[in-house]
Amino acid sequence: MFIDVHVHPAFYEPINDDPMRENMRHEVLDIHLNGIAKLEHVRNQMRLAGLDKLCLLPQDYLTEEGEVPVTNEEIKKLVDLMPDQFIGFASVDPHDPEAAEKLDRAFGSLGLSGLNLHPGRQRFYPMEECVQPLYDICETYNKPVMFHAGMSWEPHTLAKYGRPIEFEELAETRPGLRFCLGHFAWPWLEEAAMLMVKHKNVYADTAALYFDCAREFYSRLFTRELEVTWIDRSLRHQVMFGSDNPRFEQIRMAHALEGLGLRDSTVELIKGKNALEFLNGLE
């Protein structure tokens, strides 16, 4: 089982029949010239990457941007089209007074599998009051949280909201809440590792490709910034494969996992077994 836990389906064809919304997505996400992806293309891409499933992450930037680039309902629509391949997450804006109600509906009615939040874009720190009710709901439904952590290429984002140290109190006070530091909180990998080695409810994904090619950047992140032994010995149950596609290159990143010097059993954990634990299995 190979799962990409970090995919943004903003440009998938079934949710892009409105050119105005497509244009809004290009601007709000700052992704351009990438075209619209037919589901057949998505299947081809998954096959070449060796992927079995994708976690689809919506984005709700209602307060800051006045836009919801990808809604929970659009995620549900995509999951219904490829239920064996797609795992749908929810997103709400913590500053939205209706956020808790929307999240409860996303889990209870839409059957979505986790919550996606972007502190740097939605402008909140992980321990702020406004987001606590959302964690309560996640714990009630036993659903994980995917955080965009570290640097973000999206416009109007501030990395300070996503430094790993900002998540320490969350890990400490809610040990039953599984959450992931997306993008391994680049450039703060060591700080992320500090949290992960102590708190087993903290995961990280590999969705980072800000310099060089996938093979080169992964080699730097996972064999030099972090010693390969750190992941292979101590963090092997908390690292998940993520690509941040379409921002980054899913196929080449998937292939780059091989050849890092990790044990085969560790690679298997990163490819899918850890994601299954994070997701509390597949429904």
Q: Which residues bind another protein (CB under 8 A)?
A: 29-35, 38, 40-41, 44-45, 47-48, 153, 209-216, 246-249, 251-252
Q: How far is the CB of 14 from another protein (least distance, A)?
A: 15
Q: How far is the CB of 118 from another protein (least distance, A)?
A: 15
Asked whether the beta carbons of 215 and 259 are under 8 A apart, the reply is yes
Distances from the Cα of 228 to the Cα of 211, 257, 269, angstroms: 19, 12, 15
Q: Are strands 59-61 and 67-70 parallel, antiparallel or unpaired?
A: antiparallel
Q: How far is the CB of 98 from another protein (least distance, A)?
A: 30
46 vs 231 by CB, closer to another protein: 46
Q: Are strands 179-182 and 67-70 parallel, antiparallel or unpaired?
A: unpaired
Q: How far is the CB of 30 from another protein (least distance, A)?
A: 4
**Cα gap 20→247, rounded to integer Å:** 21
Asked whether the beta carbons of 54 and 240 are under 8 A apart, the reply is no
101 vs 212 by CB, closer to another protein: 212
Instruction: Specify the amino acid at residue 141.
Output: Y
How is residue 279 annotated by DSSP?
T
158 vs 282 by CB, closer to another protein: 158
Q: How far is the CB of 219 from another protein (least distance, A)?
A: 12
43 vs 160 by CB, closer to another protein: 43
Q: How far is the CB of 155 from another protein (least distance, A)?
A: 9
Residue corresponding to tokens 């596609």: 245
**Cα gap 278→238, rounded to integer Å:** 8
Question: Which residues are CB-neighbours of 139 under 8 A, at least 6 positions away?
Answer: 174, 176, 177
148 vs 199 by CB, closer to another protein: 148
Mapped onto helix, strand or coil, the DSSP state of residue 179 is: strand
44 vs 173 by CB, closer to another protein: 44
